[in-house]
Amino acid sequence: MSFQSLTGARIAFDLDGTLVDTAPDLVRALNESITPAGLAPVPVDAVRAMVGRGAKALILKAYEREGRPVPSEDETQDRLEFFLRTYSEGIAELSRPFEGVEAALDQLAGLGAELSICTNKPGWLARPLMEALDMSHRFVRITGADDTPEKKPSALHLETAIGGKADSRTVMVGDSDPDVGAARAAGAPVILFSEGYSEKPASTLGADRLFTHWRDVPGVIADVIP
């Protein structure tokens, strides 16, 4: 392993479940959205793995958990709009970076890597979240699903996030299948956080490497760069 390989490397990070534990705020907004409809609050652990599916899926899952009929499209849209408004108003109330994230990002930047965010979270939510956590200055770009013509697992999302075509010195760091898909489509290595939000075990998704703690990330990235 040589950290010299990190100089000039372009590293794109997923956000929810990779950089930041956002599930507590997402579930807070979910519960504030569904309890007026008579549903019981949903515990964080019940939906943590579903965060990547988006807000609408979380709302529908809450109805399914109680055996309630699927709400009408109008009702679903009302709950979704309430969810997004509630979430955005307290976007970093409970969300925190995973342990070791900020130190790892600073180490990578200090070694000469260029860092960006490639997230299926809408950019209009991702950027305020990073600002509220005082993390946005660490990234040259924060590219959400609404900032690119095609979101992950499309290679175009990853390439938009890094500012050009990917190569062997581009690395995607994520936690779930869309991250692997985007990296493979772009021809780039991918490493996964095994403690993230994937519905399937990270070990089954075909990543180049896994990590369980952020202190290991610089070394793991250096291992997958030629």
pLDDT score of 5: 84
Identify the bridge partners of residue 190 per DSSP, sorted by sequence position: 172
The catalytically annotated residue of 14, 25, 175, 179 is 14
Cα–Cα distance measured from residue 222 to residue 219, given in angstroms and rounded to the nearest whole number = 5
- CA distances, 155 to each of 41, 81, 178, 182, 195 (Å): 37, 30, 10, 5, 24
Backbone φ, ψ for residue 128 (5° rounding): -60, -35
Tens of pLDDT, residues 4-19: 889 999 999 999 999 9
- Please report, for the chain, the start and end positions of each structural domain, with discontinuous segments joined by +: 3-21+95-224, 23-89
Query: How do beta strands 190-193 and 170-174 pair?
Result: parallel
How many C-beta neighbours within 10 Å does residue 5 have? 18
Strand residue runs (E) in the chain: 10-13, 20-21, 96-97, 114-118, 141-143, 170-174, 190-193, 209-211
pLDDT-derived band at 189, boundaries 50, 70, 90: very high
Annotated catalytic, 14? yes
What span, in angstroms and rounded, lies between the C-alpha atoms of 1 and 223? 6
Evaluate if residue 1 carries a pLDDT over 70.
no
| CATH code reported for the domain at 23-89 | 1.10.150
Q: pLDDT tens across 36-66, in order?
A: 989 999 898 887 877 777 888 889 988 988 8
* Whole-structure pTM value: 0.94
At a CB cut-off of 8 Å and minimum separation 6, what does 192 contact?
Answer: 173, 174, 175, 176, 179, 180, 198, 202, 205, 207, 209, 210, 211
Average pLDDT of span 182-192: 98
Which CATH code for domain 3-21+95-224? 3.40.50.1000
Both tokens assigned to 196:
């993230």
Length of the chain: 226
